[in-house]
């Protein structure tokens, strides 16, 4: 049940056409929250990538938990993207992201799908390092797609 809920959450990342959460956060707080979520995701991705490459001892259960952790953080991102955050100077989001919200949402969906796949396959019996390398590589390509297009250097 938990796994199914996580996969649904990851798939829905950025799928909404409207990010209407301005009533929950001040824009500056939303950007800080968003950046914190990305830090959590980066920490999880570092371990996942390290295991997939063999830089960290491979542990299928630990990698699966890291994928779940990443999915949990990702599921919260949508509430931090609303137009009032556009003008927050500390944001790492390029202005063109707001002008191409459809493209950004499509990349977010690709990320959610790849993360859902990693959560699913890493939870299967017999999951191994070769599968981890393939699924993590697919996920990290989606990260790069968004970073290259919508993130400040």
Digit-coded pLDDT (tens) for 46-99: 999 999 999 999 999 999 999 999 999 999 999 999 899 999 999 999 999 999
Which residues make Cβ contacts (< 8 Å) with residue 43, sequence separation at least 6?
none
pTM value is: 0.85
> pLDDT at residue 151 above 70?
yes
Binding site feature residues for heme c: 143, 146-147
Say if CB 74 and CB 115 are below 8 A apart. Answer: yes
Binding site feature residues: 143, 146-147
Say if CB 110 and CB 142 are below 8 A apart. Answer: yes
Task: Assign 17 a pLDDT band (cuts: 50, 70, 90).
Answer: very low
Give the percent of the chain with pLDDT over 70.
85
* Domain residue ranges of the chain, discontinuous segments joined by +: 2-9+25-150
φ, ψ dihedrals at 76, nearest 5°: -95, -10
Burial class of 62 by CB neighbour count within 10 A (0 to 12, 13 to 18, 19+): middle
The domain made up of 2-9+25-150 has a fold known as: 1.20.120
Higher pLDDT among residues 22 and 77, named by residue:
77
Tell me if residue 17 falls in helix, strand or coil: coil
pLDDT of residue 5: 39
Task: Assign 118 a pLDDT band (cuts: 50, 70, 90).
Answer: very high
Distance between CA atoms of residues 65 and 46, nearest Å: 13
């Amino acid at each position: 049940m938990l796994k199914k809920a996580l996969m649904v959450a990851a798939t829905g990342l950025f799928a909404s056409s409207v990010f209407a959460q301005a009533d929950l956060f001040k824009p500056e707080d939303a950007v800080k929250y968003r950046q914190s979520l990305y830090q959590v995701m980066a920490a999880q991705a570092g371990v996942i990538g390290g295991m997939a490459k063999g830089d960290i001892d491979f542990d299928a259960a630990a990698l699966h938990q890291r994928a779940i952790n990443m999915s949990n953080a990702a599921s919260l991102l949508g509430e931090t993207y609303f137009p009032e955050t556009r003008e927050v100077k500390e944001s790492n989001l390029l202005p063109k992201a707001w002008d191409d919200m459809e493209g950004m949402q499509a990349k977010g969906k690709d990320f959610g799908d790849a993360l859902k796949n990693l959560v699913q396959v890493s939870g299967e019996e017999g999951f191994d390092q070769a599968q981890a390398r393939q699924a993590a590589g697919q996920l990290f390509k989606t990260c790069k797609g968004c970073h290259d297009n919508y993130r400040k250097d």
